[in-house]
Amino acid sequence: MRKFMLVILLVSLVGICCSKKEKLDMDRSRNLDLVQAKLAHFTLVVLTVDRSSLDENQLKVIKLLVKAAAEIDQIFWQQTYTKASAIKNELAKSNNPLDQAYLHLLTINYGPFDRLDGDHPFIGKAERPPGANFYPEDLTRQQVIDYVQQHPQVKEAFYKLNTLIKRQENELIAVPYEQEYRSHLSAAAGYLKDAAKLTTDEAFKKYLNLRADALLSGDFFESDMAWMDLQNNPVDIVIGPIETYEDQLLGLKAAYESMVLVQDRAETEKLERYQKFMNQLEASLPVPGVYKRNKVAPPAPIGVFNTVYTAADANVAVKSIAFSLPNDERVRTLKGARTVQQKNVILAKFAQILIPISQHVMAPELQSSVDGEAFFTNTLLHELAHPLGLDYVKDKNGVTIREALRETYSAIEEAKADVVGLYNVGFYVRAGVLPAEFEPKAYATFLASIFRSVRFGTTEAHAKANMIAFNYLAQAQAVTYDSVSGRYHMDFLLMKNTIKKLAADLLMIEGDGDYLKAQQWLRELAIIPPEMEQILSSLTVIPVDLEFQFDPILFD
């Protein structure tokens, strides 16, 4: 009876807060066990702040950066789904344990769609709009393309990373993010400016001021250039519209995200030996010269940081373990990209997820080769591979690969970084940076990590990328399945040769801007074979990813 009364209460509240046209669909399975099973896919990790490495002033800076990031978080709730915030607010009014569990799951996913289960709705019956809330929900990919072709004067505004597409009477218009989200952006910019006043690092001060201005102008070029100049800053923040994973309609619109980080200087110094080889890595790519950059930017910095706070797209469901930014092709041409390794997140995923998975899916002779240092290095080389290859389609002046490949870009680019990064292990062995015995460990760890990433869900770019690599390797018999033991084996030499060929294929798909081939690969290779499905279904006791709990010191 009490549950029945709660349903009546929720329905009445919806009717009060929303117009008839905006009524929320709050239908959901009233099964606490089911919701808790979904929540169990995430294991809680506490992100602590090492106060011994920070003075009081730096801690004040971090707290201001967290406030800026929290404003960005509010924007992301608007970007993911038009009704996400309203559903969250309705659930927050209830003290019922089931509704609180649904609220918890909704918060992890930033909306009512299960990102680990093909974006299937767990609240309501509406399907996830492929364009999230960047476009009108009923607008199709072809309609956008046709509209731009019929109105070529709008192309630049429509295809920008930071504009929304809206209807105005019978027309489509582009609305700048900085106009749509002005209130939260102004608040975030204010916190960045306050942090800049406190910091004693002049380069970081410059970046914070430029980034604050960029949030309000929508032009991030100068602040990206300033971020590239950071070298020894103990504290860092990534903030702005960055990745386009949320836009599954055209793959063009960037979602806001933010990460607050504290540098591990000792670990950073250890990795500086990798960065000086970027020109040689480009030259050694296994493709003809037309698919390589004519001029590679100077070596860009590599940093090892511990993540202390994440917000928005950086906090949704699957968490990043490293990144290579900025994505702006102009900045990459001039200065390359900064690579950041998130040490505490990498260690947590390796210990709590990758090792248990490898013990379950890998042949016994391979399990000892799944190595923490190899996981860390593979992650680094993945990020260093992002700037390699072309940024613009060859023979098409000024057309970016992102624009040419549209919604397929994220998965193809992640696959390229995976595979080219692994291919480059051999380069670092030949250069004397890595020992020869490290290479088989890197390959075995890469194979084990495929099973980690594919559990992110078939709609997630990294999972699609991993399945492209896996199926390509399986077709070449470099990776084989033993149906008797239910374990996977690897032919190291055959895998090396196949990775080289796959790296070439992916680099040329990008360089050619071959949208049709990219579509074909995703359709034919980004799928999970039956034997893998069976194995994955047996991994339910192993978490899929992490949920963060932040240090209370950040909020006092």
Q: What is the CATH number of the domain that holds 526?
A: 3.30.540.30
Q: What percent of the chain has pLDDT over 90?
A: 87
Low-confidence winner among 70-84, 297-311, 467-481 (lowest mean pLDDT): 297-311
pLDDT at 467: 96
Residue 14 has pLDDT above 90, yes or no: no
Residue 28 has pLDDT above 80, yes or no: no
* Mean pLDDT across 94-123: 95
* Mean pLDDT across 35-39: 94
Name the one residue in this structure whose structure tokens are 């996400």: 84
* pLDDT interval class at 3 (50, 70, 90): very low
Reduced to 3 states (helix: H, G, I; strand: E, B; else coil), residue 151 is: coil
Distance CA 522, CA 515 (A): 11
Distance CA 316, CA 297 (A): 32
Structural domain includes residue 283 = yes
Residue 12 has pLDDT above 60, yes or no: no
Q: How far is CA 476 from CA 358, 449, 495, 504, 509, in A?
A: 22, 19, 8, 15, 19
Structural domain includes residue 251 = yes
- Output DSSP code: residue 127: P
pLDDT at 88: 97
* pLDDT interval class at 460 (50, 70, 90): confident
Structural domain includes residue 369 = yes
Q: How far is CA 54 from CA 135, 262, 330, 488, in A?
A: 43, 9, 34, 46
Residue 341 has pLDDT above 80, yes or no: yes
Distance CA 369, CA 367 (A): 5
* Residue of 321, 351, 335, 287 lying closest to 507 (CA atoms): 287
Low-confidence winner among 274-283, 432-441, 512-521 (lowest mean pLDDT): 274-283
Enumerate residues 6+ apart whose C-beta is below 8 A from 104. 39
* pLDDT interval class at 21 (50, 70, 90): very low
* Mean pLDDT across 245-255: 96
Alpha-helical runs (H) found in 431-546:
438-453, 461-475, 492-512, 515-525, 530-537
Q: What percent of the chain has pLDDT over 70?
A: 95
pLDDT per position as a tens digit, 60-99: 999 999 999 999 999 999 999 999 999 999 999 999 999 9
Structural domain includes residue 469 = yes
Residue 22 has pLDDT above 70, yes or no: no
pLDDT at 29: 65
* pLDDT interval class at 25 (50, 70, 90): confident
Distance CA 363, CA 61 (A): 49
* Mean pLDDT across 230-247: 95
Q: Which domain holds residue 494?
A: 182-554
pLDDT at 468: 97
Distance CA 342, CA 263 (A): 9
Split into its structural domains, the chain has a count of 1
Structural domain includes residue 304 = yes
Structural domain includes residue 211 = yes
pTM for the predicted model, two decimal places: 0.89
Structural domain includes residue 149 = no
Structural domain includes residue 172 = no
Mean model confidence pLDDT for the chain: 93
* pLDDT interval class at 11 (50, 70, 90): very low
Quote the Cα angle for 229-424-440, to 5°: 130
